[in-house]
Structure 1
Amino acid sequence: MRAKYVLSEVLVGLWRNVTMTIAMMITMTVSLSMLGASLLMYRQVDKMRAYYYQEVEVSIYLKGDVTPEQRSALDGRLHADPLVKEVFYEDKQMAYENFQKMFQDAKDMVESVSAAEMPESFRVKLNDPKQFTAINQQYREAEGVQSIVDQQQLLQKVFDVLGAIQSLSLIVAAVMGIAALLLVANTIQVAAYSKRREVAVMKLVGASNWFIQMPFVLEAVFAAVLGSLLAGGLLIVTKVFVLEGSLQALTNLLTPVDWGDVWLMFPILAGVGGLISAMTAWITLRFYIRV
């Protein structure tokens, strides 16, 4: 009987303040969408960092006048080095073919360069990509070596940009979350004020604070959970029509977002939205409305 009464009061309260309920749901949807996108980005950047850092190579470029003896001695040192996992030698012709593939859309640039002008290099994959400093110290003064480039340093610039986007999205999500919480508190206050006479009568007949407050708390939780479902739907739409649509080439380059991560956002967003809304409603009733 009590459960039936509480649920009926929740439905009545939602319908009575339908415009504010819709506004609260929309605000929750936007803020939780930003939160979900931020969490997905964090997971994706971590996956990208783990994947690409295992694939990065150290490029040891050779001088144009390097001798076969110098090249052979360097090759032997690299193969015997315990820090080195794999070694691949790229001659001038192979470097030119890779250059043609990389800049195939810039024909003028490709035609202005010949294979003889391309540098020879050793592409070295390390057992621990963080050991670049040790490799650089050992081989930068070796005979025939022109320069040493660590791809990890280039990737770090990309990850720095992605990290800044992560932080910005979290800040926006936090601002929207604060706006949503203020709207929840305001909605609860309006709902409690509109039912102040009923609340006073219930207090007179001995109803507990928990019984009086529960319908208001459930209203906020209902709006938050529905907003989280809409936020999850927005993430699905974004993945299907944006990440797998217009930006598919970019997402394939940066490693695609897994469906498992998207589905994982549903319980996380519902839990976060429902819990925070319930706490906000309870605090509002407890310290401001004092029903």
Structure 2
Amino acid sequence: MNRLLYMLRETLTSLRRNVAMVASVILVTFISLTFVGAAALMQTQVNQMTEDFYDRLEVSVFLCTESSSQSACPTGAVTEDQREGIEQSLEEGAASQYVSSYRYESQEEALENFLEGNEDSARADSVEASDMPESFRILLHEPEEYPIVTELFAAAPGVETVADQQETLDQIFSILNGLTLVALIIATVMIVCAVLLVATTIRLSAFSRRRETGIMRLVGASKSMIRGPFVFEGVFAAVVGSLLACAATWAIAEFLLGQWLSQQVPGIRFIDSSDSWIIMPLLVLIAAVLAVSASWLTVRRYLRV
């Protein structure tokens, strides 16, 4: 117990002597781990969006119209029998085992949906219901099985084309994953800077206290007694920085994602501060491990005991 109190007392003394360097370590650790926390939050959000969007992934079977191309619809506009055949396949046929639910969208409904999404378009006034294709909008039990359903209906009579949102979603998620990667790269560079700064701080502290450590060696102090305060100094600065990063991560999750973005984009379910509590212990652990490693290696190299 006396040894621990002594090392803590020496650590506080060293912290007072190196306030500027310790503050630098805290700030660099704070910034770097904030990037790590932001990247983790972003990846958590991407995973949640992926799950939500794939649950709502629709396969759209667009039926032939009078204006469809001859190559896509050689028999002309879809007939009643063809439409019923497609619906029967969805309910009882080969596609039924993959279909969770479906809905039919008439030309009038398609026009209404088009006008709602293109109110300011100059083309909106010239579009008529006959220009819009009828369609079946299909939700699948397993969204990953969309290629099977696409193949089943692609060559069916009366079908002009089969489309899904997979390509669009893949593009969105690739962009978001790219942003996560950029944040991780920046965080890695900043963490390297933090480790180097911890090592520099410990080296300067050891140099400034070389007379004291020499006396301690002469009186028979153990290696752990001499090296301990230097390691504690690095760990203290890094952990304080990590706690600040935890606070920043919580604020990003609570206010930016949980409140502001959820109000701006109501159609997407955003993560909130509860998800940040999973990330916080990881940030503290990263800071502690890196600080212990950097401090111990620096002390072993520059503080001969």
TM value normalised by structure 2: 0.89
- My pick for the range that moved more, 173-182 or 82-91, is 82-91
Please state whether the residue corresponding to 1:149 is helix, strand or coil: strand
Q: Which residue of 1 aligns with 2:40?
A: 39
CA displacement at 1:253 relative to structure 2: 4.1
8 Å Cα contact 2:43-2:180 kept in structure 1: yes
Separation of aligned partners in 2, 1:31 and 1:63: 56
Per the alignment, residue 285 of structure 1 pairs with 299
Task: State the shift of 1:102 in Å.
Answer: 2.5
State the secondary structure of the residue aligned to 2:122.
Answer: helix
Specify the code of the residue in structure 2 equivalent to 1:76.
Q
Count, aligned residues: 290
Matched, 1:22 2:6: no
Per-residue deviation at 1:252?
Answer: 4.2
Report what 2:157 is aligned to.
Answer: 143
- The residue number in structure 2 matching 1:75 is 87
Pairwise CA distance, 1:246: 5.3
Q: Any idea what the Cα deviations from partners look like across 1:108-142, whole Å, max 9, x if unmatched?
A: 34333233322111011112211122112211110
Task: Tell me, in whole angstroms, the C-alpha distance in 2 between the residues paired with 1:222 and 1:112.
Answer: 69
Distance in 2 (CA, whole Å) between partners of 1:170 and 1:272 is 14
Which deviates the most, 158-167 or 28-37? 158-167
Contact 2:262-2:268 within 8 A present in 1 as well: no
The 3-state SS of whatever aligns with 2:186 is helix
Q: Which amino acid aligns with 1:196?
A: R
Q: Which residue of 2 aligns with 1:50?
A: 51
Supply the AA of the counterpart residue of 1:12: T
- The one-letter code matched in structure 2 to 1:262 is S
Superposed CA deviations along residues 240-282 of structure 1, whole A, max 9, x for unmatched, are 5533565445554443122211122222211111121111101
* Match runs of 1:116-265 below 5 Å: 116-244=130-258, 247-249=261-263, 252-265=266-279
Q: Which amino acid aligns with 1:96?
A: L
User: 2:96 matched to 1:95?
Assistant: no
Letter in 2 for 1:112: S
Richer in helix (by share): 1
Identify unmatched segments of 5+ residues in structure 1: none
Task: Name the stretch that deviates more: 31-40 or 42-51.
Answer: 42-51
Matched residue SS, 2:61 = strand
Check the 8 A contact 2:110/2:133 in 1, yes or no.
yes
Number of the residue aligned with 2:11:
10
Query: Aligned partners of 2:297 and 2:204: how far apart in 1?
Result: 15
- Return the alpha-carbon distance in structure 1 between the equivalents of residues 165 and 227 of structure 2: 59
Q: Which residue identity lines up with residue 102 of structure 1 in the other structure?
A: G
AA aligned opposite 2:117: M
Deviations 1:7-26 (A, max 9, x none): 11111111100000111100
Structure 2: which 5+ residue stretches go unaligned?
Answer: 66-76
